[in-house]
Amino acid sequence: MIPAHSLILASGSPRRSDLLAEAGFDFQVVKPDVEENEDGSVPIRELTAENALLKASAVAISHPDAVVLAADTLVLLGDRVLTKPVDQPEARRMLESLNGHSHQVFTAVALIHRSSSREYCFTVSTDVFFKQLSADEMTAYHAKINPMDKAGAYAAQEHGELIIDRIEGSMTNVIGLPMKKVMATLADTFGITPAV
């Protein structure tokens, strides 16, 4: 069994850190120094898995005895992958493209325990249905959040009620970490359970 204190979150995302903390896990945060692949022509399951493994591997090299958890979340609208916007005009275009439509949020999670050569990766998808918003409503929403560090230029956990009609599937997946599957995998594969 691997002790719970040897869990590392390889992410700079405060949302992922909050989800793990709220679930009661004892963990450290180590931000991976990697360049993520943002090639929207790569199939979304492949792209998110590649990025999650890249982040987990980068941190696992220097922490071989810890279980390193990393994730990557992207939005799929039809056959188009939405990553993080590069600027405010692109953020607006993304929100306009999602407006009144449904899309899918994919999160790939990678777990690596280097010293025992164990590696586990899975992907969870969730359907999100947007309200039909006016131009003013879209402007008002973006004024309330910072869309630049969010795939699809929105955040379900930040004033999501203004833009989202409903979510079918894991809400925490849309936020950035599908906690039900994460908790089951940590317990079943690595013997790690919440500390409280």
Query: Annotated catalytic sites, by residue?
Result: 72
Provide the residue count of the chain: 196
Cα 125 from chain centre: 11
The H-or-E segment that residue 19 falls in is helix 14-22
Choose among 128, 127, 136, 119: nearest CA to 61: 119
For residue 4, give the DSSP letter.
G
Interatomic CA distance for residues 2 and 12, integer angstroms: 24
At how many degrees (to 10) do helices 135-144 and 88-98 cross? 130
- The answer to whether 64 and 8 have CB atoms below 8 angstroms apart is no
